Amino acid sequence: MTEFEKINVRGVHFANVTPDEAETICTEMLGGDRAHTVFTPNAEIVQLCIEQNEYYDLYNGGDLVVPDGAGVVKAAKILGTPLKGKVAGVELGERMLKVCAERGDGVFFLGAKPGVAEEAARRMTEKYPGLRVGGTNDGYFKKSGEESDAVTRKINQSGAKLLFVCLGVPAQEKWISENKDKLTAARVCMCLGGSLDVYAGVAMRAPKFFVDHSLEWFYRLIKEPWRLGRMMKLPKFLLGTYREKLFRR
């Protein structure tokens, strides 16, 4: 597999890759002989790790960990170890759907509210002819025990090589880390948060202006003001990063 450099941003080790390189690595993983995990944490998640250290092992345990957010990229720059840039999970996921459509590999959508994964499958197969969605399951099941095992069996029976796990953070990373060894066919398991909602047209990505100006967080705050508490992690994260920089000197 293509080697890649890892950059430590406040304790989380991010792959220093462009979106193209991330796609290449994921494609190579598709041809591997085990289930690989792809995580896409943003600054909120790094701050979660800083506040609750037990999450470091979880996130650093991913086979490919890419920075899904301007906050992480900014922090890497502040610390003097810049990353090549942001790799949006929702975009990397869609790139991999295109790859699977071309290769003829099946995919499985796990997560979101009932009906959303099916709608995402309908829209994505329309957009990428040849794409085969081998199965879907909503994300509201018990994350351990028999209900969870039934979900892993369903994924195995589908024969899908690419699995999207969209159960929200950090539940999705926890669930896949605990269950990936039970997967017999899946080779790339991507934790993609709210991406199925986006593919299904249930949620909108921020308009280009917000994306280009690193203001996706602001757009999300306007649309979902109840996220304010969670979002306060971002200024905390950046302040802490400047503090770390000062102490390192």
Cα–Cα distance between 121 and 123 in angstroms, integer?
6
Which range, of 61-69, 165-173, 174-182, 240-248, touches ligand UDP by CB under 6 A? 165-173
**x/- binding map, residues 89-128, to ligand UDP, per CB under 6 A?**
----------------------xxx---------------
Cα–Cα distance between 247 and 198 in angstroms, integer?
41
Q: Is there binding between residue 201 and ligand UDP (CB under 6 A)?
A: no
Q: Is 147 exposed, middle or buried, given 0-12, 13-18 or 19+ CB atoms closer than 10 A?
A: exposed
When the beta carbons of 27 and 109 are compared against ligand UDP, the nearer one is 109
Which range, of 6-14, 154-162, 189-197, 211-219, touches ligand UDP by CB under 6 A? 189-197
Query: How far apart are CB 247 and ligand UDP at their closest, in Å?
Result: 30
Q: Is 2 exposed, middle or buried, given 0-12, 13-18 or 19+ CB atoms closer than 10 A?
A: exposed
Per-residue DSSP letter, 67: -
DSSP-based three-state secondary structure for 80: coil
Q: How far is CA 12 from the centre of its chain?
A: 14
Q: Is there binding between residue 67 and ligand UDP (CB under 6 A)?
A: no
When the beta carbons of 27 and 136 are compared against ligand UDP, the nearer one is 136
On whether the CB atoms of residues 114 and 140 are closer than 8 A, the answer is: yes
Q: Which residues sit at the interface with ligand UDP, rule CB under 6 A?
A: 111-113, 139-140, 166-169, 171, 193-194, 196-197
